[in-house]
Chain A
Amino acid sequence: MTFDPRPPAHLPDDDRIARLDARFGELAELTDALLRSLREGAADPALADRWLAVWREAARGEAVLNLIREVERERQENQTLTEISMKLSSTSAIEEVLRTILDSLRQVVQFDAAGIFVYDREIGQLEIDMLVGYEKSERQVLYQKFQEGVKVGQGIVGTVIMTGHYIYDPDVRRDPRYIAARESTLSELAVPIMARGEIIGALNLESDKPDAFTERDRRSLTAFANHAGVALERARSDRLRQHTRRMQEEITLARRIQTSFLPESTPDFAPYDLAGANFPSSEVGGDYYDFIPITQNDMGIAIGDVTGHGVGAALLMANFRACLRIESRNNFAVRAILGKVNDYLYETNLPESFVTAVYGVLDRQNHVFSYANAGHNPPFRLRRDGGAELLTVGGLLLGAFPNVAYEETSVQLSPGDVLLFYTDGVTEAHDNEGNEFGAERLRTMVQKLRNHSARDIVKQVSEAVREFQSVEIAQDDLTLSIVKYD
């Protein structure tokens, strides 16, 4: 059985006063003509009949009364809509606004139940936002049906949301689309709710009488639906704003956590001069450097870069740092420390995230730096005579594969040696032309600054990199640290 929507009853439009005026005008003209013909003694029976018909209709005054009712209803509707608008601007509680809309609607349209439904575009389903006139059990039935999922195109409301056209259903018993919840409902009228040119939901009225709604009701409902649209849209943007603020707070927190992991001050470790700096990118990054005092004469030196940015990176970094700090105090062999850190990170990590790091122990008595490089950009050892070596011995990056074996090696340091640790944010800093800062530029620069203090080298290099890099391209974190044998 197909449903044939009954064309809505057509009610007088805005020219109705003019038409009433014309009707009275016609009566006046007919009266004049009739009186004239009487005076002339030649009464026209056809004219008399015509006059009588018009006079009778006018005498019943129905047209006048209808118009008065219409105008009054419009006045009331406008007043109600104004009240809703005021409510809309004074409260942000969406529920209150929607309830006001349905309550006010009752003053201008007769109905037994109403509902406001919104369309969640992301999941392609409808949700109930507000119901009035439903018994508790009927409400439960409807919520149950919507929980199971009502898609766009399903039901009368779903069809309205799909097509953007209203549906008037004078007898729901004959409409297969009708989703039955209220047993007593006989007729239904649903109009789309629009916001910024998009269909965002539907406003639906039900009546226990058949054929209960008129074109006039449809127009009132549409006007109220527009207000509901404004309210829903505002509630949506409020939610979005709150979400953005929460995200922002989360990022701020993550950044604070991350910053708290970095050394607050540089330990004194003469004859070695230590310094480091970290410049996080606009997002929360995943760079890390550390100086970990192990014994009076042994200092752990670490630099690391965790995959990604944001809260995930900060958490991974927290994990890595905690683990490294614990293991560095339990073990003396660097390769064993990195092996344990790797296994721990592997067990707790997502498969696609990992850490690259260099960890080494600086022995200031014997001037030996024992290190292992776990997939990190190789640090430089810069000699006083201008020579340079890359510290590449080690093994795989950390946390991606189980049971990785690491090699370690010892570097015998000489006075004047500079160890330069950095993350790829330094060497891969881009300028506007897409050129990279590069490891060679970095090495040359530090070599030139070798007679400055470690702190000064770090400062000048990071300034140079930040000056080099384009402000328009999103850049990675910058981290570097210097160990200088004075």
Chain B
Amino acid sequence: MKFSSSLKDGVLVFALKGKIMGGPESQEFHDELKKAVNSGQRKLIMDLGEVEWMNSSGLGLLISALTTARNAGGEMKLARSTDKITSLLVITKLNSVFDSHPNVQAAAASFK
């Protein structure tokens, strides 16, 4: 898993890449996310378009990110979920919790 973040119009976009399956990088991701939220960032988007694969630990990462955002009074949206991720979200019924959008622009627009 790799990730990068970029700030655009007050929305912080995390672009996740590769296999999201827990491990030390997910701790790095959490640290980065917490730092952003602690510094006042409230609008977050997870761009999942480049995610090759995700297991339950990967879902745990998304859940934890959402919880972190919401506990701070913020919100987190998903963008560009792949078919595999969409089906995981359907099975786990997390689709009732996550707000998913076809692209980053649509996800950003949904904050307004």
Contacts and interface: CB of A to CB of B under 8 A. Distances in A.
A233 to B, nearest CB: 26
A396 B60 contact: no
Contact of B97 (A305, A308, A396): A396
How big is chain A's contact interface, by range? 20 to 34
A376 B93 CA distance: 9
A422 interface: no
Nearest to A476: B55
Interface in B25-81: 26, 55-57, 59-61, 63-64, 67-68
A308 B57 contact: yes
Nearest to A395: B93
A375 B93 contact: yes
Interface string A367-382: 0000000111110000
A397 B22 contact: no
A401 B97 contact: yes
B112 to A, nearest CB: 25
Interface in B80-103: 91-94, 96-97
Nearest to A306: B56
Given A351-B67, A378-B91, A356 B56 contact: yes
Contacts of B93: 374-375, 394-397
A401 B94 CA distance: 10
Nearest to B91: A377
A354 B63 contact: yes
A116 to B, nearest CB: 33
B75 to A, nearest CB: 15
A374 B22 CA distance: 22
Interface string A338-372: 00000000000001111010000000000000000
Question: Which 9 pairs across A and B sit closest by C-beta, in order of nearness?
Answer: A375-B92, A352-B60, A352-B64, A307-B56, A397-B92, A351-B64, A351-B67, A400-B63, A396-B93
Interface of A: 305, 307-308, 351-354, 356, 374-378, 394-397, 400-401, 424, 476
11 contacts: A305-B56, A307-B60, A308-B60, A351-B68, A352-B26, A376-B92, A377-B91, A378-B91, A396-B93, A400-B63, A424-B56
